Structure 1
Amino acid sequence: MFRVEEIHTQVTDKIVSQGVSELVRIYPLDDIDETGLPETWNFNGTCMPKIYANRAKEYANFKVREDDIWVVTYPKCGTTWTQEMTWMIVNDMDFNKSNSKDITERIIFFELNGMVELESWDAFKALEEQKSPRVIKTHLPISLLPRDIWKKKCKIIYVTRDPKDVVVSFFHHFIGMTPYTGTIEEFIEGFLTDQFIYCSFWYHVLEFWMIRKSENVLFITFEDMKKDLRTVIDKTCLFLEKKYKEEEISKLIDHLSFEKMKANPTCNNQGLVKCLYGILEREYKDETAFQFMRKGKVGGYKKELSLDYVQKINLKTREIFLPHGLNLYCR
């Protein structure tokens, strides 16, 4: 089902030397039917940890439920924000449950066991125990997702973000949650050459944009959510066939504010940070620990990226997106 290619470059070898999992590139060998992509489409390989490759077939063969709702993003594109919005809409605005049960329990991170070694928790078992409809989080590209999704036409909410903001946020995430100690310049070079996990960012986005008109796909952007969250909520409600009163929508908008979510222990993913600190044998202290929800701004990259890297990222965006008619983030 997959061809796995080892990656040995200066970038990846340095990552491994710092204690981060060895990386490989995974190519699908089977025909992935019914995605809505052109029949002639050729999938690029996806950079993933070697431990994921050992389970890639298992993830691809996972049996989904027809009413599953998948929140799909490249990392650091507004995943947690979209998860909480989606879960609340699906679950009849159950604020009590949201504020009492951690988001990592309400919404399972599908491939987490393929990213880090977890002996005491299994995503498949957790998903099996969840009642329908399930909201499921994943960062997997089309080529690695369960084939059953396309056969059963599960609903997919796809969120993307300006790659310049993505790479800065992803760098801080990587520094905060792995043993990686490289510079931001080294990280960007890896991102640009598809040598970090889940890369390529650009093909991840492009493929979902190409199927955005499918009835089971909602394609939204982080920037749209920041600019007009109400409109995105309305689109999501329509997509999920849900309808709510004005006061319920207003309460949801307040609940989803960055400040409220960052301060909310059931929404801010600090439980996941604590878990990973334990695996890395780091001491967790609230005042010094990495904050999963960092700044949540549009254009924050301007304070951290050099003009040279801004131009390099914009150039790659144009080279991959424009030939297919996508002009998103091309400036």
Structure 2
Amino acid sequence: MQDPNNSFPFDIRDVEGTDDKELSKYFLGAGNFSIQVGPKKYLLMSDYKHDAENIYNMRLRYDDIFVVTYPRSGTTWTQELVWLLASDLDYSTAEKIPLSSRSIFLEQVIVSLPISVRNISLMLQLPRFPMLMHKNIVEHLDKEHADKPENLKNLQLMRTPGSEQVARIPSPRFIRTHLPLSLLPPTLLDTTKVVYVARDPRDVAVSYYYLSSEFKSYNFNGDFKSYWRLFVKDLVYWSPFFEHLKEAWQMRHHPNLLFLFYEELLQNLPATVQRVADFLGKEYKADQIAELCTHLKFENFKKNPSVGIDNLKEYGMMAPKGEFIRKGKSGGWRDYFDEEMTREAQLWIDNNLQDTDMRFPSMQ
């Protein structure tokens, strides 16, 4: 039950019964460590409840810029686009400082740790995953790094609440999150600018399946058909998918929210970049927009070490051959869906879109 004295307005409850058994079956240790939040039952890992109120009531700044997405919807691509447009196309800084440090993930913040390599002082940029590091995962990683004291120390640091770290970041802050608008501060759109990106759910599911299979925080151990079944039942993290999107779609006319489709970035990157620039109040010449599009071209973006998270492989948090940035395409889901899944997916999509005029460019 909701505590009337709590300034977080939604109830948080453990996932139980059949749903908990399914999570336990397919995700490493997820059983008894998953929660559902509010009337829409957003599925999150249990550590969220320790930071839910702090995030909901976080102090916003008027120069904050948020990138909000459901996972695997073009988040990283949009982060780099937004940061460069808002930062006067500072490619030099973008090359020197990892995107994960320039645009902070609210559910994962970055800590700078001093290290010494051959008597040279360096700063190690280490991600923290307080909401993706439930007890069983921590125990699993601790065993893997039992003979590496420094790694054990760093793994412990990863459990620091994101809201604490974001509050210390100097302005202007670039913040990304997979949390839906309803779980973010209610004054968000009246205070800051928000870029929201949506993507065809079938492509999202394929990309999310690969991440979930390769990332230790998920460690999914089933095939894609099993994953899709969980996806449409809202049993993957940050679901339900359509409720997440609809919240933003309903606010798309707010002057401080720009609603984009991933497919728009693919189909006409220059025009979409211009829309984002206009939204941020930035003016650039045509040749500058063209240069940025070249920087963001997927073949170039995938090779850009500043936007990857390969350092997670060192800590065993990602499979050695895992790809955080995969193919950057639309319609790839057709290679994974059989005829029955295709029919079921279309019915699921139609049922969820019947009460809204939202349509994905890939479906028009």
TM-score using structure 2 length: 0.79
Tell me how far 1:249 sits from its aligned partner.
1.3
Q: Matched residue of 2:354: which SS?
A: helix
2:48 paired residue number? 52
In structure 1, C-alpha distance between the alignment counterparts of 2:294 and 2:165, rounded to whole Å:
30
Q: Secondary structure at the match of 1:266?
A: helix
> Who is 2:188 aligned against?
149
Q: Distance in 2 between matches of 1:315 and 1:111?
A: 32
Aligned to 1:164: 202
Show CA shifts across 1:217-254 (max 9, x none): 10011101000000111000000000112222111111
Provide the residue aligned with 1:322 in structure 2.
354
1:308 paired residue among 340, 343, 356: 340
Distance verdict in 2 for CA 1:254–1:227, change over 3 Å: same
Measure, in 1, the Cα distance between the counterparts of 2:45 and 2:345. 24
**Are residues 1:224 and 2:297 paired?**
no
Q: Which runs of 5+ in 1 are unaligned?
A: 28-42
Paired residues in the alignment total 307
Please name the residue that 2:315 is paired with.
278
Let me know the Cα RMSD of the aligned residues: 2.0
Equivalent residues in 2 for 1:2-21, closer than 5 Å: 2-10=10-18, 12-17=20-25, 18-21=27-30
CA–CA distance in 2 between the matches of 1:81 and 1:91?
A: 16
Q: How does 1:234-313 map to 2 (within 5 A)?
A: 234-271=274-311, 273-274=312-313, 278=315, 280=317, 288-313=320-345
Q: Please state whether the residue corresponding to 1:218 is helix, strand or coil.
A: strand
1:125, distance to aligned residue in structure 2 (A): 4.6
Question: Does the CA contact (< 8 Å) of 1:2 and 1:57 recur in 2?
Answer: no
Aligned AA for 2:28? G
The normalised TM-score by structure 1 is 0.86
Identify which of 73, 82, 85 aligns with 1:89: 85
Query: Does the 8 Å contact 1:61/1:148 carry over to 2?
Result: no
1:182 is displaced (CA, Å) by: 1.4
Checking the alignment, whether the CA contact within 8 Å between 2:182 and 2:247 is kept in structure 1 is no
Are the counterparts in 2 of residues 107 and 134 from structure 1 also a CA contact under 8 Å? Answer: yes
Give the Cα–Cα distance (whole angstroms) in 1 for the partners of residues 17 and 83 of structure 2: 40
Q: Which has the larger radius of gyration?
A: 2
CA contact (8 A) 1:206 1:321 kept: no
Cα deviation code 1:17-51 (max 9, x no counterpart): 54243222110xxxxxxxxxxxxxxx512011112
Q: Does structure 1 retain, via aligned residues, the 8 Å contact 2:265–2:272? A: yes
Structure 2 stretches lacking a partner, 5+ long: 1-8, 109-129, 135-154
Cross-structure match for 1:98:
94
CA contact (8 A) 1:317 1:330 kept: no
Give, as a single letter, the amino acid of the residue that structure 1 aligns with 2:85: I
Identity %: 28
* 1:135 maps to 2:152: no
